[in-house]
């Protein structure tokens, strides 16, 4: 186990880094042609408002749809991820300073990731489910080998904002409140840093090609980094950038597009090859009621099946955007703020989790709510879906995690 401070590699050192991105991922040819040319039309032209009767009253339903309720946390549970290979293990982190690996079919604890002394707010699995990573608000990051249930690596950085594993290698990326983005080869600990410009690195995503990462910063800047060279390929800032914190990022499967959501109540669609902003989506009117409560674009997503994007706001509205026309197709109203959305991998369905304690599934073509899952007694803070699409896991302020079946009993 390594717990020492790791010096930054210089360029020559990094070229000899055992990770060779070309060897661990398939190279995907990028199309430099902009698939969605700019439009001068009003982003709200043609908008269709949906969700009449779909909004929750905000009262948690008495019915518990969960097949498994995990109760080993003693305080709010902040984050959850399901292992991508077997789809049977979850890791959750909470305000009780605990991270726990457990079986989603039985609810039994597999092992506890001990040693954290602050709220565990970020967790993740390596691409092959060999390792699990946990990070707390104090900046302590730990990696565990699942088979042996042993800690194999740890490091203390600045306060952690997010972590993500590389799609094809045992490489871990972490963004911190001081603006640094760290990249380590696990378990050896070889390190590369992508230095920020001061403001916190609040969101990050590894591109599907495995060679680049997008990072959103507290001042509204977005940078696209080359993971091998450490160079910043593009900076989206100034009039093109957001005016305030970038809370969420999502990329298209073909590497061509990057989408961002911000506290400035806009979402941006960016050509990930050129760094050009294709369009800006104004979400400022997308809220419940007409009050002056705080609002932000908390989550964004690009469908891999239809030419749509989705934005979810703290004001409780998910908007479905048509990328070809750059206008809103539907507005889907929730009972409270949306904390996360996620597109289905094989259909035009999108899932949302809300502060009203409900998870919903919507048909993006019609804007109608198709299914909802209830059981929590407080705000849902995160959710994940198994790779096989069978189960949905939620974590909540009510100190529990819940496992819901997505598919009906008759298939």
List, for residues 382-409, the tens digit of each pLDDT value: 999 999 999 999 999 999 999 999 974 3
Q: What is the reported pLDDT for 411?
A: 39
Cα separation, 124 vs 131, in Å, equals: 9
Instruction: Give domain 41-67+283-401's CATH architecture.
Output: 7 Propeller (2.130)
What pLDDT does 31 receive? 36
Helix, coil or strand: residue 78: strand
Tokens of 131: 């390792």
pLDDT computed for residue 362 by the predictor: 98
Cβ atoms of 121 and 136 within 8 Å: the answer is yes
Asked if residues 301 and 269 have their Cβ atoms less than 8 Å apart, the reply is: no
Distance of CA 13 to the CA centre of its chain: 31
d(CA 172, CA 181): 10
pLDDT by residue (tens digit) across 42-96? 333 334 445 433 434 444 557 999 999 999 999 999 999 999 999 999 999 999 9
Tokens of 249: 């990022």
Task: Give the model's pLDDT for residue 196.
Answer: 87
Q: 190-205 burial, b for 16+ CB within 10 Å, e for fewer?
A: bbbbbebeebbbbbbb
Q: Which two tokens stand for residue 152?
A: 């194999």
Residue 60's pLDDT is 53
pLDDT of 8 reads 42
pLDDT in tens, 179-203: 999 999 999 999 999 988 999 999 9
DSSP 348-393: SEEEEEETTS-EEEEETTTTEEEEEE---SS-EEEEEE-TTSSEEE
* Size (the chain), residues: 411
pLDDT at residue 9 above 80? no
| pLDDT at residue 286 in the model | 59
Question: Which pLDDT belongs to residue 407?
Answer: 77
Which of 148-157, 243-252, 361-370, 401-410 is predicted least confidently? 401-410
Q: What percent of the chain has pLDDT over 90?
A: 80
Residue whose C-alpha is closest to residue 70's, from 116, 102, 110, 98 = 102
The pLDDT tens digits of the residues spanning 14-43 come to 444 444 555 544 332 323 333 333 333 333
Interior CA angle at 233 toward 229 and 238, to 5°? 145
Contact 133, 121 (CB under 8 A): no
CA 212 to chain centre: 16
CB 393 within 8 A of CB 401: yes
Q: Are the CB atoms for 74 and 97 separated by under 8 Å?
A: no
- Check residue 289 and give its pLDDT: 54
Give the model's pLDDT for residue 50.
52
Position 2 pLDDT exceeds 80? no
Structure confidence at residue 290 (pLDDT): 47
Structure tokens at 282: 């104004």
Determine if residue 50 is left, alpha or beta; phi over 0 gives left, psi from -120 to 50 gives alpha, anything else beta.
beta
For the stretch 273-312, pLDDT in tens is: 999 999 999 998 755 554 556 799 999 999 999 999 999 9
Q: Which two tokens stand for residue 15?
A: 């070229």
């Amino acid at each position: 186990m390594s717990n020492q401070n790791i010096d930054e590699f210089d360029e020559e050192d990094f070229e000899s880094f055992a990770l060779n991105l070309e060897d661990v991922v398939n190279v995907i040819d990028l199309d430099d042609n902009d698939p969605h040319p700019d439009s001068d039309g009003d982003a709200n032209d043609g908008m269709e408002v949906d969700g009449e009767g779909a909004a929750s009253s905000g009262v948690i339903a008495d019915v518990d749809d969960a097949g498994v309720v995990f109760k080993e946390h003693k305080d709010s549970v902040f984050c959850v991820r399901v292992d991508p290979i077997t789809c049977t293990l979850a890791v959750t982190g909470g305000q009780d300073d605990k991270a726990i690996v457990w079986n989603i079919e039985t609810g039994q604890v597999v092992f506890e990731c001990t040693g954290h002394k602050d709220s565990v707010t970020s967790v993740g699995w390596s691409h092959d489910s060999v390792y699990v990573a946990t990070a707390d608000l104090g900046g302590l990051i730990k990696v565990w080998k699942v088979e042996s249930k042993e800690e194999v690596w740890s490091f203390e950085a600045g306060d952690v904002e997010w972590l993500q594993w590389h799609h094809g290698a045992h490489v871990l990326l972490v963004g911190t409140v001081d603006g640094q983005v760290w990249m380590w080869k696990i378990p050896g600990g070889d390190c590369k840093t992508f230095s920020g410009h001061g403001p916190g690195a609040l969101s990050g995503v590894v591109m599907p090609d495995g060679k680049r990462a997008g990072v959103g910063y507290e001042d509204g800047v977005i940078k696209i980094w080359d993971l091998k060279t450490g160079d910043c390929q593009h900076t989206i800032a100034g009039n093109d950038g957001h005016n305030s914190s970038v809370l969420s990022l999502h990329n298209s499967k073909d590497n061509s597009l990057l989408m961002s959501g911000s506290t400035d109540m806009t979402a941006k669609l960016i050509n990930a090859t050129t760094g050009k902003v294709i369009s800006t989506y104004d979400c400022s009117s997308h809220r419940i009621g007409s009050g002056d409560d705080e609002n932000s674009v908390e989550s964004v997503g690009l469908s891999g099946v239809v030419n749509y994007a989705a934005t979810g706001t703290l004001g409780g509205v998910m908007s479905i955007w048509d990328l070809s026309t750059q206008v809103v197709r539907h507005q889907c109203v929730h009972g409270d703020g949306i904390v996360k959305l996620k597109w289905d991998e094989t259909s035009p369905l999108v899932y949302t989790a809300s502060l009203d304690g409900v998870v919903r599934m919507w048909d993006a073509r019609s804007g109608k709510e198709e299914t909802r899952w209830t059981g929590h007694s407080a705000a849902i803070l995160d959710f994940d879906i198994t790779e096989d699409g069978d189960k949905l896991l939620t974590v909540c302020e009510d100190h529990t995690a819940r496992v819901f079946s997505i598919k009906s009993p008759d298939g």
